[in-house]
Chains A and B, each alone.
Chain A
Amino acid sequence: MSHASEYCKPGEFKPIDLLAAAAAREVNDGDVVFAGTGLPMLAITLAQQEHAPNAVCIYEAGSIDGRPLHTPTSVGDARCTYQASKAAGLFEAFYGQLHSGTVDLGFLGGAEIDKYGNVNCTVLGDYNHPKKRFTGSGGNSDICSYAKRTVFIMVQEKRRFKEQVDYVTSPGWRVKKWPSGEWVTKQEVYKSYFKGGVSTVITDMAVFRFDETGEMYLDTVHPGFTVQDVIDNVGFKLNVSRVSGQTLPPTKKQVELLYQVIDPEGIFLP
């Protein structure tokens, strides 16, 4: 990354810009990235435009290494396949790429998360009598279970960062082994199929990572927020002993790329 003076000052960027920039930083050059709809699309594209030109993007509907000219509104969009190496289908995406162990990084969203990184995007309340329904898993659960690293982009709210999520759509570091239902580590359930798991959670307030035991800790806090703000918006006892500092704001170049090149139509960005 270039000279610090290029970082935006407060007021020169919107919260969503910082989110996209922080998410883009999680992409290593050369990563095979499996991304979901929405902000993940912005993040992977931003990374490809800057420090990770050799990162490859797979969308679950079957486009492999596409280079869209226009931002897709759907992972099944015609725009995803522009200049793709392959226009395949879901079997290729989920088995030919994901189950085969090819995917380095997953980029996902979720409605609720617990301290072990279990994510809910299915229902609120008891599944047998739900109070609210979300989309359901789609590829969320598959990608989170099988990518070597997974980044979740979420909204920071106490009701979303819970001691226990209402429904485990995607597996974190401590999960239930079915059909018995006993709590064990992810490694114990996946055994030889284990590839990795959730590595990072990025919200509108902070960046979280997971320690050696699979528990979430606070890593960096975004400009304008304090550690206490984050604690106040987490529903479980958060480990704040490893805070490494403030989240870097986006650079001016990143903001320009986001608004002029990646999403000039205002599909995701305001």
Chain B
Amino acid sequence: MSQPKKINLAEAAALVQDGDQITFSGFTIWRRPVALCYELIRQRKKDLHLFEVQGGFHSDLLVGAGCVKIWEGAWMGQEMLGKIGENLARKQISGEILVDDYSHGHTVGRLMAGALGLPFFPCALAMGTDIFNPEYDQLAKAGLRDGRHRNIPAKKYIMADDPFFNRGECALLPAVNPDVALVYAPIVGDEGTVRILSQSYSDAEVIKASKTVIVICEEIVPDSYLRRDPAANLASGYEIDYIVECPWAAHPTGSQFYYDADADFLKAFNKIREQKAFDEFAEKWIFGVKSHEDYLEKLGVRRLEELRASKISGYSSRVKRGTR
């Protein structure tokens, strides 16, 4: 049992090696480790293998920046703030990346098997769909299921009979154990206890399944404070390897009780349809800022104050979300 090490953003990103399989905390446009993803792009990571329950701003960003070789997931987009992940769409169509689709139940199950140290997860969800069509298995087609790639299982799935109750076939889906988990949590204790303040998404499984866990947080607080209410905590310090303190690290995604999702920022990002426009975005918000603090300064106090969440409701009532 050891306590996590406190490091900075650049050191955290340097832990990710080219070709690593990585996964993330959060859900679509909530609690994503965006500051860390920006830093991966600054450090020009490449050939990353993303496994995620579903994508969002953070991963469509990594895809747009050319850091990703393989994307396995169930969904990509920004919900009502940009339905389709346009960078993934563009690069899947051009053949620049390998995309392998699952359902949410499948990605959640695969991650849970990894979290539990089991080889596979049994599941009867989404049977009879093209997710199981062998002709569409992109990793097999690329010759990557040959047993020589540590993060790629020999098969996408198998259908197996129930040997105990004769209930019929269900799917066995291979476990996933990513090399690195990039986790955003609002609060972490100085001994590493992790607290989130709303839905848990798949964050506990992401932490347990991954070999190295980096948690980036709004603030580090005394562990003794978080231990007053252990039922409210997500993970223990000894499950975490590294902590980075970085306020507003999830922007433009939201963090309940800290800030809302930045609808204008996300909608503007979702208008990008070609590489040139992406590169301009990256120049403005990633390469054109010297540090995370610089990024926040560029966003400006007014914008950040609008996004700041109510400590009572958990979200902002000042942010304009619709047309009225």
Contact = CB atoms under 8 A, between A and B. Distances in A.
Interface string A54-71: 000000111100000110
Contact of A181 (B73, B133, B199): B133
A95 B200 contact: no
Contacts of B102: 137
B257 to A, nearest CB: 8
Contacts of A267: 80, 321-323
Interface string B20-59: 0000001111100000000000000000000001100000
A166 to B, nearest CB: 9
Nearest to A73: B80
A116 to B, nearest CB: 11
Contact of B123 (A99, A128, A171): A99
Interface string B300-324: 0000000001000111010011111
B313 A82 contact: yes
B74 interface: yes
Contacts of A60: 104
A60 B107 CA distance: 13
B80 A37 contact: yes
Contacts of A133: 84-85, 88-89, 92-93, 99
Interface stretch (A172-180, A202-210, A242-250): A172-180
Contacts of A76: 26-30, 79, 199, 201
Contact of A74 (B28, B108, B324): B28
Interface in B225-269: 254, 256-257, 260-261, 263
Interface string A121-142: 0110001111111111111111
Contacts of A74: 27-30, 79-81, 261
A89 B80 contact: no
Given A168-B129, A171-B128, A122 B323 contact: no
A99 to B, nearest CB: 6
B125 A146 contact: yes
B127 A140 contact: no
Contacts of A69: 313
A140 B101 CA distance: 13
Interface stretch (B1-9, B134-142, B270-278, B289-297): B134-142
Contacts of B123: 99
Given A94-B125, A133-B92, A138 B136 contact: no
Interface stretch (B11-19, B163-171, B215-223): B163-171
Contact of A191 (B29, B130, B169, B322): B169
Interface residues of B, number: 77
Contacts of A140: 103
Contacts of A32: none
Given A73-B80, A137-B101, A94 B322 contact: no
A78 interface: yes
A15 interface: no
Contacts of B108: 90-91, 94-95
Interface residues of A, number: 71
A53 interface: no
Given A62-B199, A135-B85, A145 B77 contact: no
Contact of B260 (A78, A82, A89): A78
A63 B199 contact: yes
A91 B107 CA distance: 10
A205 B53 CA distance: 35
Interface stretch (B172-180, B202-210, B280-288): B202-210
Given A179-B132, A263-B322, 16 more contacts: A73-B80, A73-B81, A74-B79, A76-B26, A76-B201, A78-B257, A82-B313, A82-B314, A91-B202, A94-B104, A122-B130, A136-B76, A137-B104, A140-B103, A142-B126, A190-B124
Interface of B: 26-30, 53-54, 73-77, 79-81, 83-85, 88-89, 92-93, 95, 99, 101-105, 108-109, 112, 123-136, 138, 141, 159, 167-170, 198-205, 254, 256-257, 260-261, 263, 309, 313-315, 317, 320-324
19 contacts: A61-B201, A74-B30, A76-B28, A78-B254, A78-B309, A78-B315, A89-B202, A90-B53, A90-B202, A94-B125, A99-B124, A134-B84, A137-B104, A171-B126, A175-B128, A176-B130, A189-B127, A191-B168, A264-B324
Interface of A: 37-38, 60-63, 69-70, 73-82, 87-91, 94-95, 98-99, 122-123, 127-142, 145-146, 167-171, 175-179, 181, 186, 189-193, 263-268, 270
